[in-house]
């Protein structure tokens, strides 16, 4: 299991720092801003050894060229990425070795078509899910379909409850407000909201989440639950079926929430 540190970037991004247990090497996930990473490297005396990219959006890749120009490191990313800075192309089912751990690659096209997730295997798995899965939320469907997002959610829900979820934005409170509207009698949402509000009041990240919690609170992972089907059907003013239809309606509703 990796030791991880979130670096805040832009308004609400997190760049996750992955530390080697053996030496001063680190890897970073989705370095949208090189200066944030370079500041961390300077003050911690660490050495950049690798960059992991989840998808092509600029707030996840904008710092890569500057980091590559200063450090000769592999840049992992999807073989389907529009981002030209990837040096090590990955496809669904691949695995990579990073420091002491093996990471499995899962294609999760939905937010973007090149989106991949990295899963660190082990007793407590660790998931780098970029902008696909958020605490109590999911990414916007910029390039993919609701059907693809449902498949991604099914994959995430199949992971062990103990899996830690390292999302790349601090969207938790807004997502929880929507989750409460869509699933009004779910007391787990209230409990999580209280905890997240306290963390934000203390200027702490609300992340990582974990799969066990997401299975209880995330509307997009609960599209087979009667309460969510009912709320989504009310929003669309028609009777929706479980799964994709419910997910599509929830995602559309959230866009204007």
Cα separations (Å) of 39 from 31, 44, 82, 176, 208?
Answer: 12, 9, 28, 32, 23
What are the residue numbers of the active site?
55, 57, 59-60, 111, 131, 169
Give the binding site for Zn ion (CB under 5 A).
Answer: 57, 131
**Closer by beta carbon to Zn ion, 75 or else 138:** 138
Q: How far is the CB of 59 from Zn ion (least distance, A)?
A: 7
Distance CA(51)–CA(172), nearest Å, equals: 25
**Closer by beta carbon to Zn ion, 37 or else 110:** 110
Q: What are phi and psi of 83, to 5 degrees?
A: -75, 120
Q: How far is the CB of 111 from Zn ion (least distance, A)?
A: 6
Q: How far is the CB of 171 from Zn ion (least distance, A)?
A: 11
Distance CA(125)–CA(8), nearest Å, equals: 23
DSSP, res 23: S
**Closer by beta carbon to Zn ion, 144 or else 192:** 144
Closest to 109 in 3D by CA, of 164, 64, 54, 158: 54
């Amino acid at each position: 299991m990796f030791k991880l540190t979130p670096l805040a970037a832009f308004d609400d991004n997190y760049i996750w720092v992955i530390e080697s247990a053996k030496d001063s090497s680190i890897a970073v996930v989705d370095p949208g801003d090189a200066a944030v990473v370079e500041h961390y490297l300077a003050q911690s005396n660490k050495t950049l050894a690798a960059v992991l990219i989840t998808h092509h959006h600029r707030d996840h890749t904008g710092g890569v060229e500057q980091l590559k120009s200063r450090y000769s490191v592999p840049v992992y990313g999807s073989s389907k990425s529009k981002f030209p800075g990837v040096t090590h192309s990955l496809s669904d089912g691949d695995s990579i070795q990073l420091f002491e751990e093996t990471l499995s690659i899962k294609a999760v096209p939905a937010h973007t078509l090149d989106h991949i997730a990295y899963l660190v295997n082990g007793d407590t798995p660790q998931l780098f899910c970029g902008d696909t899965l958020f605490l109590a939320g999911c990414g916007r469907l910029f390039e993919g379909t609701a059907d693809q997002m449902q498949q991604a959610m099914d994959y995430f829900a199949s992971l062990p409850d103990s899996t830690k979820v390292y999302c790349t934005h601090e969207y938790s409170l807004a997502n929880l407000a929507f989750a409460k509207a869509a699933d009004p009698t779910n007391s787990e949402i209230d409990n999580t909201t209280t905890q997240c509000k306290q963390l934000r009041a203390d200027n702490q990240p609300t992340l990582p989440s974990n799969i066990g919690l997401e299975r209880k609170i995330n509307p997009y992972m609960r599209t087979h639950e009667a309460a969510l089907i009912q709320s989504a059907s009310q929003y669309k003013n028609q009777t929706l079926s479980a799964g994709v239809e419910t997910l599509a309606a929830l995602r559309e509703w959230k866009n204007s929430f």
